[in-house]
C-alpha cells in the first residue's frame, strides 16, 4: 500500500521543508518538493500542517504492579492512548518482580503483557532490583540477545540500590553497551521527613511534596553523576527531572564532558504543587512531586537551550477510584504516578512550539530524534529519511483541542490536564504506514505493534545529542 502526504511542512531534527513524503510498504520511500501519485497511491492532504516523526515516549509504565495496586492501563489501552496522541513508539519501564528474580524473569513477563496487545511498536527498559555476580553476568545477554539496551535503577522505593551496587551496575552496563537510567531521590531523607509529617498527623496530599522536597532529588542526581564518573564515566540518563537545581548539576557535569542526559515530563513543565490543595489532590501524587511554579521556567529554559534532551511522560495510571479506595486521601498510602501518554505531543507542541519557546525542529529532537538515538532506535525511528519506518504525526497548528478525559483513550477516570485548552490539533498518526488515529479517533489494531529489539548504546552518537538547538 502506498500513501503520499502532500503539501505539508516536513519537520525533522535538522529543519523544516516544504516537501511531499511518499510511503510504501510501511517505510518512507521518498521526500521531494513535488511527488506525483500513481493510481494505487492514496493521497493525504496536509496543507498548513506539520508532518513530523511520530512521538517516541521512552518512559511509560503499562500494566505495572506496584504491590498495593496494578496500574489501570495495559499495553492495549496504553498504546491506544499513545497512538491517539501522536506517539508511535513507547519504551516501557518494567516493574519490579519477585525478590531475587533475575533480569530475564521480568522480560518474559513483559513480553507476555505486550505481545498481541500493543497497537504501536514498543520496547522495554530492564529493571535492576538487586546486584550480584549473576545479574552482572546476565546484563550482556539482555543487551546482545534480547535487545534491552537500557536499564533502570532506583535510589528509593522497595528495591533501592546502595552506592556499591550502583557503582558495580554502572561499570558493567557501560561494558556491555547499555545506558543506565535512574530514578534519583534520597530515600533516607524522604523516610525521615515522611515519618515526622505522619507523626504530626499530616496525611493530606499537600504534605507529599513536603515529604520529598527538591533537595532530595537534586542530592541524588549529584550523587549519581559522581558515581557514574567513578564508574569510568559510565553513560547516565536521569529520568523525570522536576527542578532547576538538579539541572544545574547536570549542566556542570556536561561542561566537564561527562556523558549524562536528562528527561523531563509535561507535568513538571505545566502543573505545579498548588494541585495538591485541590479537592482531588490525590490525583496528582507522583514522585518526584510537582514543584513550585518557578521550577517550570527553569525547565523550559533548559529545553530550549539544549540542556534537557528528551520529554517523556512517565505515564503510570491509577484511577481516582483506585487512589481513593487504597489511600482514603492519605498521601503515604496512595500509589504514585500520573497518566499523560496521550497528551505529551500536543502539550509540548502547544506550549512549546506555538507558545514561542521552542522551534518545531527542537520539538522533534525532544520528542523523537533524541529518544531514538539514546535508546538504540536510530535511524529506523525518529527520522524522516527514506528507509525509516513511516511512523508519523500530522499536527495542525490552526486547530484547537480542549483536553477532557471523556475524549481520551486510556482506561483511567481522569486527566491531570482536564479543561486545558490547547492551540493545535493532532490530525493523523501513522504507524509503519498504517493510519492508527485520525482526529482523536482510534483506527488502529490490537497486535499491530511489534517488539523493538534495540541496538546497544552508541557512544559515538553523543556529540549529536549535545546542545545544538535550532
Ligand atoms: O510516581 C511515579 N513517578 N511513579 C511511576 C514510577 C516512577 O517512579 O517512575
Ligand atoms: Zn521514577
Ligand atoms: Zn516512571
CA distance 213 to 166: 23
211 alpha carbon – ligand 1 mean position (Å)? 15
397 alpha carbon – ligand 1 mean position (Å)? 32
Q: What φ, ψ does residue 25 adopt, rounded to 5°?
A: 60, 40
Q: Whose atoms come closest to the Cα of 317: which ligand?
A: 1
Q: Quickly tell me which residue has 507529599 as its cell.
A: 208
CA distance 238 to 288: 12
CA distance 336 to 343: 19
**pLDDT the model gives residue 466:** 47
Which atom belonging to ligand 1 lies closest to the Cα atom of 152? 9
Dihedral sign computed on CA atoms, order 19, 23, 28, 29? negative
Q: Is the CB of 71 under 6 A from ligand 1?
A: no
240 alpha carbon – ligand 2 mean position (Å)? 7
Name the residue at shortest CA distance from atom 8 of ligand 1: 287
Pocket probe for ligand 1: among 241, 316, 327, the residue whose CB has the most ligand atoms within 8 Å is 316
Q: Is the CB of 337 under 6 A from ligand 1?
A: yes
Which atom belonging to ligand 1 lies closest to the Cα atom of 59? 9
**pLDDT the model gives residue 462:** 61
20 alpha carbon – ligand 1 mean position (Å)? 40
Query: Which residues 6+ apart lie within 8 Å of 414 measured at CB?
Result: 280, 283, 319, 320, 339, 405
Dmax (CA) of the chain: 74
389 alpha carbon – ligand 1 mean position (Å)? 30
In SS3 terms, 292-338 reads as CHHHHHHHHHHHHHCCCCEECCCECCCCHHHHHHHHCCCHHHCCCCE
C-alpha cell at 364: 522533534
pTM, rounded to two decimals = 0.98
**pLDDT the model gives residue 460:** 72
Which atom belonging to ligand 1 lies closest to the Cα atom of 66? 6
Name the residue at shortest CA distance from atom 4 of ligand 1: 337
Q: Is the CB of 92 under 6 A from ligand 1?
A: no
45 alpha carbon – ligand 3 mean position (Å)? 37
Paired with 421 in beta bridges are 402
In SS3 terms, the chain reads as CEEEEECCEEECCCCEEECEEEEECCEEEEEECCCCCCCCEEEEECCCCEEEECEEEEEECCCCECCCCECCCCHHHHHHHHHHCCEEEEEEECCCCCCCCCHHHHHHHHHHHHCCCCCCEEEEEEECCCCCHHHHHHHHHHHHCCCCCEEEEECCCCCCCCHHHHHHHHHHHHHHCCEEEEECCCHHHHHHHHHHHHHCCCCCCCHHHHHCCHHHHHHHHHHHHHHHHHCCCCCEEEEEECCHHHHHHHHHHHHCCCCEEEEECHHHHHCCHHHHHCCCHHHHCCCCCCCCHHHHHHHHHHHHHCCCCEECCCECCCCHHHHHHHHCCCHHHCCCCECCCCCHHHHHHHHHHCCCCCCHHHHHHHHHHHHHHHCCCCCCCCCCCCCCECCEEEEEEEEEEECCHHHCCCCCCCCCCCCCEEEEEEEEEEECCEEEEECCEECCCCCCCCECCCCCCCHHHHHHHCCCCC
30 alpha carbon – ligand 3 mean position (Å)? 37
**pLDDT the model gives residue 459:** 78
Q: Is the CB of 314 under 6 A from ligand 1?
A: yes
Q: Is the CB of 336 under 6 A from ligand 1?
A: yes
Burial 47-74 (b: 16+ CB within 10 A, else e): eebbbbbbbbbbbbbbbbebeebebbbb
Could you read off the pLDDT tens digit of each residue along the chain, which spans 470 residues?
Answer: 899 999 999 999 999 999 999 999 999 999 999 999 999 999 999 999 999 999 999 999 999 999 999 999 999 999 999 999 999 999 999 999 999 999 999 999 999 999 999 999 999 999 999 999 999 999 999 999 999 999 999 999 999 999 999 999 999 999 999 999 999 999 999 999 999 999 999 999 999 999 999 999 999 999 999 999 999 999 999 999 999 999 999 999 999 999 999 999 999 999 999 999 999 999 999 999 999 999 999 999 999 999 999 999 999 999 999 999 999 999 999 999 999 999 999 999 999 999 999 999 999 999 999 999 999 999 999 999 999 999 999 999 999 999 999 999 999 999 999 999 999 999 999 999 999 999 999 999 999 999 999 999 987 766 555 444 44
C-alpha cell at 274: 498548588
Amino acid at each position: 500500500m502506498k500513501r503520499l502526504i502532500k503539501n505539508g511542512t516536513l519537520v525533522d531534527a535538522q529543519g523544516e521543508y516544504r516537501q511531499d513524503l511518499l510511503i510504501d510498504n510501511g517505510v518512507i520511500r521518498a521526500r521531494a518538493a513535488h511527488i506525483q501519485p500513481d493510481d494505487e497511491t492514496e493521497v493525504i492532504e496536509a496543507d498548513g500542517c506539520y508532518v513530523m516523526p511520530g512521538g517516541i515516549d521512552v518512559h511509560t509504565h503499562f500494566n505495572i504492579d506496584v504491590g498495593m495496586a496494578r496500574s489501570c492501563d495495559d499495553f492495549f489501552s496504553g498504546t491506544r492512548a499513545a497512538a491517539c496522541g501522536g506517539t508511535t513508539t513507547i519504551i516501557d519501564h518494567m516493574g519490579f518482580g519477585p525478590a531475587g528474580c533475575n533480569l530475564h524473569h521480568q522480560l518474559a513477563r513483559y513480553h507476555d503483557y505486550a505481545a498481541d496487545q500493543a497497537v504501536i511498536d514498543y520496547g522495554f527498559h530492564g529493571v535492576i532490583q538487586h546486584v550480584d555476580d549473576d545479574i552482572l553476568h546476565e546484563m550482556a545477554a539482555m543487551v546482545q540477545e534480547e535487545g534491552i539496551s537500557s536499564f533502570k535503577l532506583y535510589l528509593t522505593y522497595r528495591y533501592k540500590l546502595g552506592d556499591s551496587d550502583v557503582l558495580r551496575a554502572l561499570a558493567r552496563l557501560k561494558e556491555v553497551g547499555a545506558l543506565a537510567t535512574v530514578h534519583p531521590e534520597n530515600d533516607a531523607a524522604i523516610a525521615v521527613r515522611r515519618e515526622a509529617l505522619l507523626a504530626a498527623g499530616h496525611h493530606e496530599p499537600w504534605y507529599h511534596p513536603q515529604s520529598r522536597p527538591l533537595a532530595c532529588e537534586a542530592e541524588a542526581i549529584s550523587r549519581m553523576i559522581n558515581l557514574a564518573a567513578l564508574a569510568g564515566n559510565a553513560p547516565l540518563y536521569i529520568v523525570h527531572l522536576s527542578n532547576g537545581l538538579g539541572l544545574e548539576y547536570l549542566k556542570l557535569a556536561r561542561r566537564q564532558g561527562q556523558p549524562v542526559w536528562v528527561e523531563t515530563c509535561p507535568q513538571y513543565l505545566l502543573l505545579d504543587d498548588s494541585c495538591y490543595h485541590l479537592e482531588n489532590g490525590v490525583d496528582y501524587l507522583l514522585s518526584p512531586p510537582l514543584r513550585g511554579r518557578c521550577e517550570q521556567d527553569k525547565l523550559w529554559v533548559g529545553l530550549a537551550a539544549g540542556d534537557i534532551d528528551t520529554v517523556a511522560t512517565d505515564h503510570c495510571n491509577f484511577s481516582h477510584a483506585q487512589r481513593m479506595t487504597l489511600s482514603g486521601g492519605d498521601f503515604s498510602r496512595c500509589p504514585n504516578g500520573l497518566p499523560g501518554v496521550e497528551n505529551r505531543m500536543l502539550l509540548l507542541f502547544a506550549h512549546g512550539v506555538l507558545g514561542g519557546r521552542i522551534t518545531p525542529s527542537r520539538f522533534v529532537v525532544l520528542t523523537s530524534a533524541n529518544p531514538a538515538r539514546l535508546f538504540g532506535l536510530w535511524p529506523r525511528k525518529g527520522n524522516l529519511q527514506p528507509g525509516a519506518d513511516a511512523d508519523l504525526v500530522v499536527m495542525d497548528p490552526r486547530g484547537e483541542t480542549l483536553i477532557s478525559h471523556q475524549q481520551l483513550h486510556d482506561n483511567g477516570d481522569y486527566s491531570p490536564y482536564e479543561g486545558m485548552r490547547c492551540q493545535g490539533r493532532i490530525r493523523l498518526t501513522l504507524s509503519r504506514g498504517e493510519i492508527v488515529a485520525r482526529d482523536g479517533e482510534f483506527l488502529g489494531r490490537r497486535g499491530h505493534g511489534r517488539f523493538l529489539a534495540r541496538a546497544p548504546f552508541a557512544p559515538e552518537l553523543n556529540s549529536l545529542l549535545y546542545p545544538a538547538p535550532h
